[in-house]
Amino acid sequence: MTRIIEDTLQCFVCGAKSQQRQLASTHEHGSPDLDGRPAEEARSTMPEWVQTCPRCGYCAPELSRGHESSRALVRSPAYQAQLRAQDSPLLANRFLCAAMACDAAGRDVDAAHHRLHAAWVADDEGRPELARQYRSAVADALLARREALRAWRAGDGDWKGAEVTFLVDVLRRAGRFQEALRELENALQKGVSSIVREILRFERSAIERGDAGGHRLAEALSGSVLREDPRDDDPLLGYLLSHCGDFVTPQENKAAFTGTLRTPEGERWATDDPQVLTLLAHGKKAFTAALEKRLLADHPDKVVINRCPKCGGIARTPKARQCRFCHHSWHDKR
Ligand SMILES: [Zn+2]
Ligand SMILES: [Zn+2]
């Protein structure tokens, strides 16, 4: 659920007090876009991502905080012109002003973020030319400082190279297809994870079609890699993770949560971690059975696997005395 609170805040630049809305909490249901734009409900909370002082026009995620450089910047004609620009959406202007404040403070990663948010506003307002222009500025900033890109979207292990998928998507959606393709091929040559390779393949086919539109991560990754909780599929695995979790190793835990990835070469586990691949070598069911066996062998006095005496189904909890499958109850029988 999305929750927005109102609060009186004092402007960092001019000291004026004003009522401001703040995003207290939100959530995402579904796949984000390839450029990181979240799914609903978070997707629609953008007006709450930047606050604006009604007196001086200072724009920032938190109006009461800022960098000294903001004081002079907000008074400058360039800033005031951006704030009041007629040819762009009001909310985009606010993000672009927040970006200018970050530029002045030397916070280029945050500046790029705000400019990307302006592009999302332009997308929603049906202004593709403006969106392209804002994305192009984001791409320029990231190309000029690749370490900022890595800091922003660093992907380790199974997401190695994730920052490149982001850069490629921004370039593609800015209509800079040749550069997008060059970045993509470079990354593939240098080596990326299996998941990232599939995303880059998706980007490549979009570029080849001349497609500069938005796409969801779920479109690029088929298989079960993005499914949220494996415990829903397998009651025994759910039981082991929930009730014996203290004895489950990080590698086993990772194996439990690893989904599959459909690739042109066939379906595979969505990980490159050799230890996890070994655990999953005979499938998820076999992994779960082996995990149960190991837990019982290593911790016979602590691990209780509560099964229904009638059908053998796994109970919900170690103390449950009724079967969720056959409804048999064994309250006094043990
Ligand atoms: Zn102010
Ligand atoms: Zn039963």
pLDDT one-digit tens code per residue, 194-204: 999 999 999 99
Give residue 151's identity as a one-letter amino acid code.
A
Give 100-147 pLDDT, tens digit per residue: 999 999 998 899 999 999 999 999 999 999 999 999 999 999 898 888
* Whether 271 contacts 158, CB under 8 Å: yes
The ligand whose atoms approach the alpha carbon of 321 most closely is 2
Q: Which ligand is nearest to the CA of 18?
A: 1
Mean pLDDT calculated for residue range 237-265: 92
Measure 93 CA to ligand 1 centroid, in angstroms. 16
Q: How far is the CA of 141 from the centre of ligand 1 (A)?
A: 28
| CA 315 to ligand 2 centroid distance, Å | 8
Q: What is the mean pLDDT of residues 80-101?
A: 97
Q: Are 174 and 135 in contact (CB under 8 A)?
A: yes
User: Which tokens belong to 10?
Assistant: 């004092």
Alpha-carbon distance of 109 to 190, in angstroms, equals 24
Q: Which ligand is nearest to the CA of 14?
A: 1
Query: Does residue 151 carry a pLDDT above 80?
Result: no
CA of 63 relative to ligand 1 center, distance in Å: 8
pLDDT at 73 over 60: yes
Distance 202 CA to ligand 2 centre (A): 46
Q: pLDDT category, 230, cuts 50, 70, 90?
A: low
Distance, CA 51 to ligand 2 centroid (Å)? Answer: 57
Ligand 2 ion: nearby residues, β-carbon < 5 Å: 308, 310-311, 313, 323, 325-326, 328
DSSP secondary structure string for all residues of 192-237: --HHHHHHHHHHHHHHHTT--S--BHHHH--SSTT-S-GGGT-HHH
Q: Residue 105: what pLDDT?
A: 96
Buried b (16+ CB within 10 A) or exposed e, 263-298: beeeebbbbbbeebeebbeeebeebbeebbebbeee
Q: What is the pLDDT of residues 236-245, one digit of tens each?
A: 999 999 999 8
What is the structure's pLDDT at 149? Answer: 76
Of 200, 202, 116, 211, nearest in space to 165 by CA: 200
Confirm whether pTM is higher than 0.85. Answer: yes
CA of 10 to the centre of ligand 1 (A): 8
Least confident segment among 112-121, 122-131, 176-185, 324-333: 324-333
Which ligand is in closest contact with the Cα of 12? 1
Specify the 3-state DSSP secondary structure of 107: coil
Q: Of 148-157, 234-243, 251-260, 272-281, which gets the smallest average pLDDT? A: 148-157
> Confidence band (pLDDT; 50, 70, 90) for 156?
low
Ligand 1 being an ion, which residues bring their Cβ within 5 A of it? 11, 13-14, 16, 53, 55-56, 58
- Check residue 332 and give its pLDDT: 63
44-47's contacts with Cβ under 8 Å and 24+ in sequence apart are: 44/2, 45/2, 45/4, 46/91, 46/117, 46/120, 46/121, 47/21, 47/91
Q: How far is the CA of 75 from the centre of ligand 1 (A)?
A: 10
Instruction: Give me the helix-helix angle, 177-190 and 162-173, nearest 10°.
Output: 170
Alpha carbon of 115 to ligand 1 centroid (Å): 21
| pLDDT higher than threshold 80 for residue 29 | yes
Can you give the pLDDT at residue 5?
Answer: 92
Q: What is the pLDDT of residue 228?
A: 66
For residue 231, give both structure tokens.
């415990």
Q: What pLDDT, on the 0 to 100 scale, is given for residue 52?
A: 98
In contact, 18 and 8? CB cutoff 8 Å: yes
E strand or H helix that includes residue 109: helix 108-124
| Tokens 């809305």 belong to residue | 21
Mean of the pLDDT values across residues 165-182? 96
Nearest ligand (C-alpha, residue 70): 1
